[in-house]
Amino acid sequence: MIRGILLSLFLVLSLLFFFAGEAKTLDPYKVLGVDKNASQRDIQKAFHKLSLQYHPDKNKNKGAQEKFAEINNAYEILSDEEKRKNYDLYGDEKGNPGFDGGNFGNQDGYTYFTSGGPGSSYFTSNPGGWQTMGGQGNTKTFSFSFGGDRGSGGSPFGFDFGDIFSNFFGGGMNAGNNYGGFSSSGGQNSRFASSGSLEDINSQFFNKQISGQGLTWLLVFYTPSAKGYHVLESIVGDVASSLHGALKAGRINCLSEQTLCKHLGVSSASKSPRLFIYSYKSCEKGSLVEYSGEFDARSLKSFCQDHLPRFSIRVDLGRFDFSSSTSNLPQVLLLSTKKDTPVMWRTISGLYCKRFVFYDAEVHDVSHPTLKRFGVKELPAVVGRLANGEEYVLRAGITVKDLKSGITELTALLESFEKKNKKVASNQAKKTSQTESQGGNIPSLTSLNIDNICGSKTAVCVIGAFRSSKAKEKLEAILSAVSQKTLVRRQNQADNSGDSITYSLLDASKHSAFLYSFDRSGFKSFDKLLVAYKPRKGKFAVYTDEITMEEAEKFVSSVLNGDTRFSKIRQKPVFR
């Protein structure tokens, strides 16, 4: 019986050795000088160090180029999860050491044999049976039971060698591609393990995740045949890790993404990889800047920090005043001991530049008069001002673990403050509307109420513009009286949209840009004037003579009755 078993085993091994030879794969762990339990970070650091040491551009010694190729090959294996697993199990990253090689091995109770080359296969024995894996791209798994058990008169090893040949050569064909005890399953092997920390970027990803999103990106443009790609990728990965949260890193294959590379102005015919930073000089749109410095982590990191957003205004705290801004956006001020604008604040300013006005200031003493006025007792701190003028200490004594967590915390802070600003603006607009409906004082036109007073639902908006307090008092008194009178208007039958006319005041000295929308001169030579504006039609009429109660009433009446000539506005009036 034992003789029969040994004969069967000999036949099985003879079948397997039909594919076998001697393995010649270099040990990638030894090449990089790391142990088999090394983390991806350790592998990346070792590769980075050795690739710089043996790079042909820097090392002209004999054998350096060959060593450099070995280093790249080793990193390609160990940086890819699937290839590394295959090497650990079978001695080769593909699970196939080539037709010229093969070996037996044992790991964790699994016995394996490999025979290599394109389209070759390997066999593994585990507690559940044997498997053969074959091909490149497509992976097919074949398994067959050795049958029998020790308690049923079968093989003393727990399986019956006779069944292997019965199943392998003589089994019937059943549904589902089962051949006796021999089953086959196939599928495309599309698993891809990305090395380093770089995102694979295509056109859709670029348009949705990068373009105009406010975050800085390091982008490697390459083709599979580009020389030195792995060296560059390693350095970029290191820098992206050190600035995690402030920027991200990605790679664009210009062979498969030719349209995207062409759109971005990067040639797909380059023999070497090229590195760009996608940064923001303006809030509206990012742009690519190519890196041309030394390929080491310190130089590249410095380059990246120089190109982070700079939308926060550095201010002298002794002269700072939130009210000096004419923007209707909420404002935020960072108070810190840093000589320059901190990286996380620059990053946040890029992400929220369309939604906030950013400032930052250097301060070392909480007894500073401005800090006392704000009520700040600890540094660093963030102070905010709502569009209605209310000021708050958003957070004081800020502590963060790292750059990423700091940016996350500040993001949550700004989101909450923005919600508060929207709520305040909504309440203020409601109060303005109620005041108008009750015939109270003439409201001042602001960015918060312009849509209600001079929006698309208003037929005619009469604006009293002033440049002095005396002119304001006079216009307010006149318009308040005129607004109480019933002036005839030739109604358009199709126009039944409620209030046909509204009245408001405008501080022309602060909001001169608003008047430029009507006339190139901005009416700078007038201390006071009346503007009749038709938002729906984009037209206006202006009265610049001496404004009395009688003249104002005549002007408004002529506007309502269609007796005044209107001109086309230069652009839609907005607050800046």
- pLDDT at residue number 300: 94
Equal fold, 199-306 vs 450-568: yes
Q: Is the pLDDT of residue 328 over 60?
A: yes
DSSP strand pairing (173-174 vs 138-144): unpaired
Partnered with residue 385 across adjacent β-strands are 331, 391
d(CA 410, CA 408): 6
**Fold exhibited by the domain 2-187:** Helix Hairpins (1.10.287)
User: Is the sign of the CA dihedral 325, 329, 331, 332 positive or negative?
Assistant: negative
Partnered with residue 276 across adjacent β-strands are 219, 290
Q: Which CATH class is domain 450-568?
A: alpha beta
CATH 3.40.50.720 fits 312-424, yes or no: no
249 versus 134: the higher-pLDDT residue is: 249
- pLDDT at residue number 561: 85
3-state secondary structure of 477: helix
d(CA 505, CA 467): 11
- pLDDT at residue number 515: 92
Per the document, the length of the chain is 576
- 25-80 pLDDT, tens digit per residue, is 589 999 999 998 898 888 888 888 888 888 877 788 888 888 888 888 888 889 88
- 187-212 pLDDT, tens digit per residue, is 333 322 333 468 999 999 999 999 99
DSSP state of 171: P
Are the C-beta atoms of 418 and 392 separated by less than 8 Å?
no
Are the C-beta atoms of 555 and 530 separated by less than 8 Å?
yes
Distances in whole angstroms, Cα of residue 291 to Cα of each of 75, 477, 546, 549: 24, 63, 63, 67
- Where exactly are the structural domains of the chain? 2-187, 199-306, 312-424, 450-568
Q: Which of 15-19, 43-47, 133-137 has the highest mean pLDDT?
A: 43-47
Q: Is the pLDDT of residue 477 over 50?
A: yes
- pLDDT at residue number 430: 67
**% of the chain at pLDDT higher than 90:** 43
Least confident of 169-173, 238-242, 283-287, 405-409: 169-173
Q: Is the pLDDT of residue 147 over 60?
A: no
Q: Which CATH class is domain 199-306?
A: alpha beta
**What percent of the chain is helix, strand and coil (3-state, nearest 5)?**
35, 20, 45
Q: How does residue 148 score in pLDDT terms, banded at 50, 70 and 90?
A: very low
Least confident of 135-144, 354-363, 399-408: 135-144
185 Cα distance to chain centroid:
40
- pLDDT at residue number 7: 53
DSSP for 15-27, written as a single string: HHHTT--------
Residues with Cβ within 8 Å of residue 263, at least 6 apart in sequence:
203
d(CA 374, CA 385): 10
What average pLDDT does range 256-261 have in this prediction? 94
d(CA 498, CA 508): 29
**% of the chain at pLDDT higher than 70:** 72
Q: Is the pLDDT of residue 236 over 90?
A: yes
Amino acid at 230: H
Query: Does this model's pTM top 0.75?
Result: no
Q: Which of 49-58, 267-276, 391-400, 444-453 has the highest mean pLDDT?
A: 391-400
What average pLDDT does range 117-139 have in this prediction? 38
What average pLDDT does range 467-490 have in this prediction? 81
E strand segments, 109-230: 110-115, 121-126, 129-134, 138-144, 173-174, 178-179, 182-188, 199-200, 216-222
